[in-house]
Amino acid sequence: MRKLHFRFMLAGAVLAAGLLGATAAFAATTRNIYIQTVTWASKDNPAQRRVVAKFGEVYGFAPSTITVNQGDHVVLHIRNLEGGGDDGHTFTLPGYGINKSLPPLSTETVSFTADKAGVFPFHCEFHKPWMSGELVVRPSK
Ligand SMILES: [Cu+2]
């Protein structure tokens, strides 16, 4: 009988530790996230001439999916790796009212508190819809 009681206590302790661990994993914190623009096809690359002729220049964000927890203070460090004079981008996240210009060869910082849970699309104003991604804010409860 005593042995069985001990086993229940042990199972309870393991369960409690698991729950505490899960809570800790979702605690709000400052999240520094590093994003870079990527060039999938550029007129400056002769090997991509046919792709550019068919689709135009094609850019993206890497990573294109950002996952944070509700309540996190999010700091995005975004580098535009394109160097041409006409190679500006924007980081536009309408769900959080963000529209940041990314001049060529610049690093811009965007910070906000992820107070709303959900999935929020972001894009570049000049190269949408293909230059896009999603911010996933996991609910705190
Ligand atoms: Cu762009």
Domain membership of residue 128 (yes or no) is yes
Q: Which residues surround ligand 1, an ion (CB under 5 A)?
A: 59, 89, 124, 126-127, 131
pLDDT tens-digit profile of 50-81? 999 999 999 999 999 999 999 999 999 999 99
Question: What is the count of structural domains for the chain?
Answer: 1
DSSP string across 32-61: EEEEEEEEEE-TT-GGGHHHHHHH--EEEE
Domain membership of residue 13 (yes or no) is no
Domain membership of residue 102 (yes or no) is yes
CA–centroid distance, residue 101 to ligand 1 (Å)? 10
The mean of the pLDDT values for the chain is 87
CA–centroid distance, residue 43 to ligand 1 (Å)? 14
Domain membership of residue 78 (yes or no) is yes
Q: Is 118 left (phi over 0), alpha (psi -120 to 50) or beta?
A: left
Domain membership of residue 116 (yes or no) is yes
Domain membership of residue 122 (yes or no) is yes
Look up the CATH number of the domain holding residue 49. 2.60.40.420
Global pTM reads: 0.79
Does pLDDT of 16 surpass 80? no
Q: What domain range includes position 44?
A: 28-138
CA–centroid distance, residue 88 to ligand 1 (Å)? 6
Domain membership of residue 1 (yes or no) is no
Domain membership of residue 132 (yes or no) is yes
Does pLDDT of 14 surpass 50? no
